[in-house]
A and B are shown apart, each in its own frame.
Chain A
Amino acid sequence: MKVGIVVFPGSNCDKDVHHVLRHVLHTDAEFVWHKRESLNGYNAVILPGGFAYGDRLRAGVIAAFSPIMKEVKRLAGEGKPVLGVCNGFQILVESGLLPGALIKNNSLKFVCRWTNIVVESNRTPFTHALKPKQVINIPVANQEGRYVADPKTLEMLEHNNQIVFRYHNDDPNGSANGIAGISNEEGNVVGMMPHPERGSESILSPFGGNDAVMIFKSLIDYMDEQK
C-alpha cells in the first residue's frame, strides 16, 4: 500500500504531505517526479499545493499537461483515490478531472489564515471517517481559491452530493455556494483549497486540535479496506 505524491516544478507542499503520511501516520508514501510516465504500484495519489510552473499563464494549467497526468487520469478512471490540495485542486480542474474553475479571491489578494469547513459528503475515500456536518479547523493559503462554475454544474454538484467541504460561515475566497472542496461524480477524485497537511498535528493549530488529519486517516482506512 503506497501513496504517490506528485512533485511538479514549483510544488511546495510535497514535503509537508509526505511528513504527515510518513511520520505522523506511518504510511508508505513516495515522491513521484512529474516526468514519470507510470504510477504502477501506487494505490492512491496526491497532488500537493504550491506554484507548479510558477502559476504562469494560469494556476495549474501547464502542470495539467505534465507526462504524469496521463497516469493520474488512468488511476482516477480505475476508481483509485486521487486528492488535489490547493494548487493540486487547480491542476485537477485544469486537467478536466473535476468540473468548474478556481479564480482570484474576492479580496484580489493572497490569503493565509485559519478557517472552518463543514464536511458535506463523507462518501469519498478522504472523508468517510468523518461525520457529515462535522466542522473542522483548517488553514487556507491561496490567491486563486475562489471556486466558480456555471449554474447547471453547481446544481449537478449539489444534486450528486459532489460538494465535499463548504466553508463554515467564513469563506476566505468568495466561492460559489461556499465551496471549499468537491469530488467527481464517483467520489474518488477530490479537490480542496484548504490544507489538511497543515492541520494534522495539534502543535501546529492555534486551536490545539488536529481534526484535519482525519482526511488522511480516511484514505489509509479506505486503502486498508480495499486490500
Chain B
Amino acid sequence: MSLTQEEFDYLKNELKRQPNDVELSMVEAEWSEHCSYKSSKPYLKLLPSEGKRVIVGPGYDAGVLDVGDGYVVTVHIESHNHPSAVEPYGGAATGVGGVIRDILSMGTRPIAIFDALRFGSIEKSSHNKWLFKNVVRGIADYGNCLGIPTVAGEVEFDDSFERYCLVDVASIGMGKKEDIVTSRADNDDYVVLAGGSTGRDGIHGASFASKVLEEENRSAVQIPDPFLEKLILEATMEAIEARCVKAVKDLGGGGLSCCLSETADKIGKGINVDISKVHVREQGMTPAEVMISESQERMLYVTDGTNLNNLLSILDKYEISYSVIGKVKDHHNLVVRHNSHVVADMPASLVANAPLANRIAKKPAYLEKLANVNKPSIPKDLNDALLKTLSNPTIASKRWVYQQYDHEVGIRTVVKPGYGDASVLRLDNGKFVTFKLDGNSKHCYIDPYNGAVGCFAEACRNVVSVGAEPIGMVDHLQFGSPEDAEIFWTFVETIKGISNYSKVMNVPCVGGKVSFYNETDNGPIKPSPIIGVVGLIEDASHIRNSIIKENDTLLIIGLTKDEMGGSEYYEYIHGITGGNVPKVDPSLDCKVMRVMLDLIKNNMVRSVHDCSKGGLAIALSEMCVGGNIGIDATLTHVPNECSRIDDLLFSESHSRFIVSIEEDEFTSITNLLEKQEIPYGTLGKAQGNSIRFTYNDKNIINVSVDKAVDAWANTLERLIEHG
C-alpha cells in the first residue's frame, strides 16, 4: 500500500468504514503526489494568478488567456520524467499526447508543441546519448503525426541528470472564447469514454512517478498511438464546434479513477458508472485494474440525451471506439459498478482532494560551501575558450533536434526555430503569439531563489526579443523527494522567487505542474523549475528575429556584473560549481523590457538577441553565426562591474540585450536609453569574416566565422550521429 498510516486513517474516518480493495487502489492513485499535489498545494497558492487577460487560471486542464477579438490562447505544461528515463521513446511520446489532450479538454485546438529537455552529459555516456536520441524521436514521431508543429524548446546537459532525464512538454491552443468548455453537467447526462481500449499498460503509472526511480518498471510506461490521438483531436474539435459536449476531460495519471473523481468534483455532482461496459484490450482485468489503468489516447465526454447521438456519430465517423459507461447523478459520490455489483462508492471530493502532507523545509548545508569558490585562472587561449563554449552541447545549435520536428505544419510559424529568441505563430485574429520555455538547473542548484527568478526573467526576455508583451506564464517545478527537508526548502524558495517576480512584472501564473521524486541511485536532480512565458504581438511590424546583416551597428543594453556562479563558463570550461549566481532586480528588469518593447514598436532596432547562457561573448557570436557575418567589436564600452576580461565575456548577468541598429538611429536610441537611465555600450559593426573582440585596442578574441559556425552548428549532430 502506498498510503501512509495517517492517510489510511483519514480515509477510513471519512468513509466511516474500511475501504475495499478497489477503493483503496483508486485512492492510492489519486492521492499519489503526482495527482494530488499534496506536498506543494499550500505553496502554489502564493503564485499570483489574476490578470486582465486571465479567463481560466491554475487548477484546470489548461490556462486560458484572452488575446482579444473573441479569441483565446490556452497553455499547459507537463512532464514525463520517470517513464522517459525507463523507455525514452514511449515515455516522451505519451508525454506529448497527455499535454495535447489537456489543451483539447478546454475546447481549443492545439497549435504548437514546445519541449524542455534535460540529460546527463552526452559526451561522457552513451546511455545519456541513447536517452536523448530516443526522447527526441518520440516527440518527433508523435507531434509530426498529429500535425501539430513542435516549434521551440531548450536542452540542458548536466551531470545531475546522469542516466535520468527531464522531459517537459508544453502546448498552446487557440480557440474562440465562446467555445471554451467549462465543465458543467446535469442529472442523467451521459458519460462517454472514447479512444484507446483500456489495458494493463501504465498500471500504477502515477504511483510510479511519485516514488524515487529505483527499478525500471517498464509495465508502468504507457504505449503511444499518435494516429488514434489525431482522430480524437479531430473528433473532439468537431464535437465542440457542433456544441454537443458539456464537459471534456482527458485520461492521464491515475486513469479513469482520477478522471471521474475530478470531473465529478468539478461539476459538483455524482457519477455512476458500470465498468463492465468499458472497452478493454485484454480479458480478465479486475475492476481495480480498469479503474487505474493509464492506457493512452482516452477521452471522457459528458453530454445530454439530446446530443448523445450526435457525439456518437462523430466518433463513428472517425472510427473511434467508445463506451457509454454511466450517468451524472444528483448526489456527490463516485459509484462504480461492475454489472450490477457495486465495487466502489465514495464521495468524489474525498477521492479528488487528498489530505495535505505537512513537509518540513530546511536550508541545505551544501549552499554555504558553494557560495565561495576560488576564481579560475584566465585561459591563455580565449579563442579556444570561445569555440569550446560554442560547442558546449547546452549552448550549441539545436538544429539536430528541431529539424526532426515538423515545425511548420499548420502554416502559422512566422519566426522559425533557429531565427529568433522564440518562435512566433500567427493567430486567426491577425495577432501573433509566442511562447518560450526556460530553465537553468546550474543556477537553481547554487541559488534556488535567484535561479528561479532568472529562469522567469530569461523567458520574459526571450519573448520581448521577438517583439511580444509577456501576458502569462506556466511553471513546471521539478525536484527530488519532498520528504527530504533540504530539497523541500529549495522548492519553497523557488515558489517565493517566481511569485515575487510575477507580481513586479505583472505576468500571472495560469497553470503549472509539480514533479517530485526525481531521484535515482545517483541522488536527486538539481532543482529544475522550468518557466514558460506566453507573449502577444499586436502587429506584424513588431516581430523581430536575431539575424544581423552586414554594416549593422551592435549595441549592448544592460549591465554586466561579476556573476559567474553556475555559468556555462565556470561549469563547462573550468569544472567549477559555485559562486555568485546572477541576480535579477525585478523592477529594473521590468524597466529594461519596457524600453526594449518601445524600441521595437517604434521600429528603432533591427534585430534583438537576449544575453544569457554563455554570456555576451556567446550571444554576440550566435548573432554572427546566424547572419553568417563577422564583427569587429570592442568591449571597452560595455557597461560592467567586472574586474576580469573572462568575467566580462562570459558572465550571465540578467536584464541584458544585444540589438542591431542602423547607424542613423543611433542618437535617438541612446537618447532614449539615457533618459531612462539604462546603461548601454556600442560594440561595433557587423562586417568581415571573423569574430574579433578587442579591449582598449588589445586583441582578446579573433576566430573565423566559419570555425564558429562549425563549432556551434554541427556539434550535436557530430556527437550523436558520429560520436
Contacts and interface: CB of A to CB of B under 8 A. Distances in A.
Contacts of B411: 16, 19-20, 197-198, 201, 204
Give the interface size class of chain A. Answer: 20 to 34
Given A141-B408, A203-B540, A113 B231 contact: no
Interface string A32-72: 01000000000000000111011110000000000000000
Contacts of B413: 204
Contacts of B426: 203
Nearest to B416: A206
Given A12-B147, A16-B411, A53-B227, A112 B318 contact: no
Contacts of B402: 112
A12 B405 CA distance: 14
B318 A9 contact: yes
A110 B404 CA distance: 5
Contact of A204 (B140, B144, B414): B414
A204 B540 CA distance: 12
Given A16-B410, A203-B426, A203-B540, A9 B404 contact: no
Interface string A87-123: 0000000000000000000000111110000000000
Given A204-B414, A206-B416, A13 B145 contact: no
A201 B225 CA distance: 33
B227 A54 contact: yes
A77 interface: no
Contacts of A111: 403-404
B129 interface: no
B666 interface: no
A79 interface: no
B80 interface: no
B431 to A, nearest CB: 13
A143 to B, nearest CB: 8
A56 B147 contact: no
B486 interface: no
A113 B408 CA distance: 9
B406 interface: yes
Nearest to B149: A112
A51 B230 contact: yes
B226 interface: yes
Nearest to B228: A54
B106 to A, nearest CB: 20
Contacts of A49: 409
A15 B148 CA distance: 12
Nearest to B148: A12
Interface residues of B, number: 31
B408 A112 contact: yes
A33 B146 CA distance: 18
B419 A206 contact: yes
Nearest to A204: B411
B308 to A, nearest CB: 22
Residue among B403, B406, B407, B419 with most chain A CB within 10 A? B406
A139 interface: yes
Nearest to A49: B409
Given A51-B144, A55-B145, A13 B409 contact: yes
B407 A9 contact: no
A151 B80 CA distance: 48
B319 interface: yes
Interface string B142-161: 00111100000000000000
Contact of A109 (B225, B228, B404): B404
Contacts of A16: 409-411
Contacts of A53: 227
Nearest to A35: B317
Contact of B319 (A9, A12, A13, A113): A9
B147 A13 contact: yes
B599 to A, nearest CB: 22
B230 A10 contact: yes
A195 B407 CA distance: 13
A24 B555 CA distance: 39
A51 B226 CA distance: 10
A129 B419 CA distance: 32
Contacts of B406: 110, 112, 141
B145 A10 contact: yes
B7 to A, nearest CB: 42
Contacts of A197: 411
Residue among B409, B416, B426 with most chain A CB within 10 A? B409
Contacts of B147: 11-13, 50-51
Contacts of B141: 110
A90 to B, nearest CB: 14
Contacts of B231: 9-10
Given A204-B411, A206-B419, A56 B405 contact: no
Nearest to B317: A33
B227 A10 contact: yes
A133 B270 CA distance: 69
Nearest to A33: B317
Given A54-B227, A197-B411, A112 B403 contact: yes
A56 B226 CA distance: 11
B228 to A, nearest CB: 8
Given A111-B403, A112-B406, 6 more contacts: A10-B227, A10-B230, A13-B409, A51-B230, A112-B407, A198-B411
Q: Which 4 A-B pairs have the closest CB atoms?
A: A54-B227, A12-B147, A51-B145, A141-B406
Interface of A: 9-13, 15-16, 19-20, 33, 49-51, 53-56, 109-113, 139, 141, 143, 195, 197-198, 201, 203-204, 206
13 contacts: A9-B227, A9-B231, A51-B144, A51-B230, A110-B403, A111-B403, A112-B403, A112-B404, A112-B408, A198-B408, A201-B411, A203-B540, A204-B414
